A and B are shown apart, each in its own frame.
Chain A
């Protein structure tokens, strides 16, 4: 099946630092979603993107729908300990089901 690549796979940052991660595909997508998953919990929707070039914020989180429609980016500003978790991207080609990335595991050091 179709695959999404997410990078980095994992990252360790100091509290207060900004974080950037991305998701890339070989196919064009019409929708990008970003999720956060805490240990033992289900993914929680953070941001939804529907148009190429779209930039959407949710508190300290900002996500962008890439111009090529084959990638998306998530930034977290001024990280705090509760940002720890796994961040997943999901992309939807037109008329098809969502495809999920393998996730970026974020650790925040105090």
Chain B
């Protein structure tokens, strides 16, 4: 089992460019999450998908969109990147109802110039 995988690992964008961050999990988990991590702050929730076919906003959703493509995959899209979106992005998943243990991917380090 690979657990949670994310691509790409690193990305540099110019202001205004768009990109999609990919996330996949092979643990048969229902729920998937996108977080951003900034220095000195805890992980902040951008969007989440409690189950296939549903998505909801988290704490900091502005400037992002998501797609829950199927049970395995959950993508995060930046339509028009801004320097304030420079951050490390983590995807996580867990199986609701059995436990609440979230497992994280290795992260995508994004720089917007």
Contacts and interface: CB of A to CB of B under 8 A. Distances in A.
Main SS class of interface, A: loop
A31 B99 CA distance: 10
A102 B41 contact: yes
Contacts of A33: 100-102
A30 to B, nearest CB: 8
A41 to B, nearest CB: 6
A74 B40 CA distance: 20
A58 interface: no
Contacts, number: 52
Main SS class of interface, B: loop
Given A1-B59, A103-B42, A45 B100 contact: no
Contact of B99 (A4, A48, A99): A48
Interface stretch (A11-19, A75-83, A90-98): A90-98
A4 B44 CA distance: 12
A42 B100 contact: no
Nearest to B50: A97
A66 interface: no
A48 B106 contact: no
Contacts of B105: 42
A44 interface: yes
B48 A102 contact: no
A73 B33 CA distance: 25
B104 A42 contact: yes
B19 interface: no
A7 to B, nearest CB: 13
Given A41-B107, A42-B107, A43-B90, A48 B43 contact: no
Nearest to B99: A48
B27 to A, nearest CB: 12
Interface of A: 1, 3-4, 31, 33, 35, 40-45, 48, 50, 88, 90, 92, 97-103
Interface of B: 4, 33, 35, 40-45, 48, 58-59, 90, 99-107
What 10 A-B pairs are tightest by C-beta distance, nearest first? A100-B42, A42-B104, A100-B43, A1-B59, A31-B100, A42-B106, A43-B104, A102-B42, A48-B101, A42-B107
